[in-house]
Structure 1
Amino acid sequence: MKKMIDRCLSDYFGDSSLFPLTADEYEKLIDKISGTLVKQENEEVYTIVHDVIYAYLTQD
């Protein structure tokens, strides 16, 4: 899941290292993504990851 998050950040910033996340932030994002996957089981994982990352980036 961490690699998917990094790939998504690369889509937004060109390089995931330009927006470094702490271990705690990764854990929170993974928990949010996992919970959303359970609720929206018919949705593609890629879409959910991007939606969660987008929401995270725009709320801070």
Structure 2
Amino acid sequence: MDERWLQKQVRNCLRHYGYDEEMMPLSDNEWHSLCAHIAAAKEEHRGANVYELVHDAVYRFLTGA
């Protein structure tokens, strides 16, 4: 899965949740971790909607779950 495309999807989702990337930028490690989590979830659940997986991962990231 293309990591740049996933980052774009994650950015859009973060905006949806009101996250201000300029005030609290994500580190390279956080970006990689989020994208890796989404890609792994997609491998595990091939029929899952990527947009739902992105929202799940971002929600977990923001809530610390």
Answer whether TM exceeds 0.5 for this pair: yes
TM-score, normalised on structure 2? 0.81
Poorly superposed stretches of 4+, deviation over 3 Å = 14-19
**Taking CA–CA contacts closer than 8 Å with sequence separation of 6 or more, which of the two structures ends up with the larger relative contact order?**
2
Instruction: Report what 1:28 is aligned to.
Output: 33
Between the two proteins, the alignment pairs up a number of residues equal to 60
Report the structure, 1 or 2, having the larger helix content: 1
The CA RMSD measured in Å over matched residues stands at 1.7
Structure 1 runs not aligned, ≥5 long: none
Identity %, equivalent residues? 30
Structure 2 runs not aligned, ≥5 long: 1-5
